[in-house]
Amino acid sequence: MAGVVERRSIDVVPDDERHGSPVSQFTLWLGANLQITAVVTGALAVVFGANAFWAVIGLLLGNLLGGAVMALHSAQGPRLGLPQMITSRAQFGVRGAVVPLALVIVMYIGFFASGSVLAGQAVGELTHLGETPGIVLFAAVTAVAAAVGYRLIHALGRIAGLVCALAFVYLGVRLLHRADLGTLLHDHRFGLPVFLLAVSLSASWQLAFGPYVADYSRYLPRHTSARATFWWTLSGSVLGAQWSMTFGALAAAAAPGAFVGHEVGYVVGLGGAGLIASFLYFVIALGKLTINVLNTYGGFMSLVTSVSGFRGQRELSPRGRAGYIAGIMVAGTAVALLGKDSFLTSFKDFLLFLLTFFTPWSAINLTDYYLISKERYDIAALSDPAGRYGAWNARALTVYALGVLAQLPFLSTHFYTGPLVAPLGGADVSWLVGLAVPAVLYGLTARRGAAPGPAPAAAPGEQEGQQSPAGSGG
């Protein structure tokens, strides 16, 4: 297992351990998106009022917009060889990065929990143990896979991409035998608020990958084309998500009473009984295993990044790695067991809540990396509170807070609706505000506050690729 179990965590991946091609990003993100939670996300657009025609279009627009932001983060991985969130120290400070990191950890636990609810139903049916034991068993398998790490994660993506694609082709055919596609798409009445809800649901789905997408591209060779990494990531994630979400929207439009609240049972019943049903339960569990391993792995990376900023750690022992992963698993499982009976409404609000906090982070991170720092980071200083990035960056943290606050008047969720939502016909455009406002503010304040200094140095033992010029993506 020595060559299989990953040794790296928050440390830089050396050049002699880099491997693979950007095509691996397509297979990973295709497999991660062809799964039941994405189906539910697509269904939500119809459940909350959109007709199937405009729901599918809105979902596609959101996947493309959010996916482009997510793929720009992915392109950072080969260039820096670091997990995604540790680069936030260059914007927020070595310790100040804990602010967005704390919210990222909540995200991972929430996605772990929501995925475990749906996968637990499938595992419970497949093993005849019931839902609660199914959730616990699924969580344990997820933790083991996350502990093995990077290579197994990519292997799961390749397997899930193939198996789940075949299953979704079959399910799509079965759905269209049961319901006429022309009838489902016949209603073309346009409603802006529900259309924008569909856009927001899929955009938030894609943007939520941003805080960990580079974790799975950081082993690619340093001089991998940034353009290739971007396009392979974008195409895999958008294709997988749109495929799943379109199926969910059509299923919800065809049989809202049978689908809503019984998503796993409906999908399996659509496919058939006996061995086919068992296969579909397996497919649901496999798809959720792939994405839940990403959430567990990303959660442990973010937790280590948070703690190490205060402890000065640069590496992590195998025992420490296992401990962090176990903590994420236990917390996510507890939330899953507590929230499994109110899943659908809670999940929709959870997605939109996440969007409020992660669009400002994405805007700041991408503005800094591509426009301010020009892809040049001092890797050693990312672990030194007394270094060029400091312990806390008040400017960036202020911009981040303003980015969150700027969205509140436009935000529409179950527990809070901003004052500008009604004048816009009920449309939620908060995520657009959350991208634009912090990007502009950070660009202005970072340039004004930047002090002249030497070019960033590569980490000890690393090549000068860390200082690649902007536009070198080929």
- First-to-last alpha carbon distance for the chain, in angstroms, is 36
Query: Does residue 418 sit in helix, strand or coil?
Result: coil
Whole-angstrom distance, CA of residue 302 vs CA of residue 83: 9
Contacts of 122 (CB under 8 A, 6+ apart): 36, 134, 264, 268, 281, 282, 284, 285, 288
* Per-domain boundaries in the chain: 23-356
How many other C-beta atoms can be found within 10 angstroms of the C-beta atom of residue 470? 13
Question: What's 451's DSSP letter?
Answer: P
Phi-psi label, residue 307: left if phi above 0, alpha if psi -120 to 50, beta otherwise: alpha
Task: Please give the share of the chain, as a percent, with pLDDT higher than 90.
Answer: 33
Burial 430-457 (b: 16+ CB within 10 A, else e): bbbbbbebbbebbbebbeeeeeeeeebb
Q: Report, at the CATH architecture level, how domain 23-356 is classified.
A: Orthogonal Bundle (1.10)
Of the candidates 18, 76, 97, which has an alpha carbon nearest to the alpha carbon of residue 392?
97
Q: How far is CA 319 from CA 7, 147, 151, 322, 332, in A?
A: 11, 10, 19, 5, 20
**pLDDT one-digit tens code per residue, 326-370:** 888 888 888 888 766 665 456 656 656 777 888 899 999 999 999
Contacts of 402 (CB under 8 A, 6+ apart): 437, 438, 441
Whole-angstrom distance, CA of residue 72 vs CA of residue 204: 15
The answer to whether 70 and 210 are in contact (CB under 8 A) is yes
* pLDDT of 221 above 90: yes
pLDDT grade, residue 462 (50/70/90)? very low
* pLDDT of 2 above 70: no
pLDDT grade, residue 250 (50/70/90)? very high
Facing residues of 112 across strands? none
The answer to whether 199 and 61 are in contact (CB under 8 A) is yes
Mean pLDDT of 26-45: 90
pLDDT score of 1: 45
pLDDT grade, residue 314 (50/70/90)? low
The secondary element (H helix, E strand) that includes residue 35 is none
* pLDDT of 101 above 80: yes
Query: Does residue 417 sit in helix, strand or coil?
Result: strand
The answer to whether 97 and 304 are in contact (CB under 8 A) is no
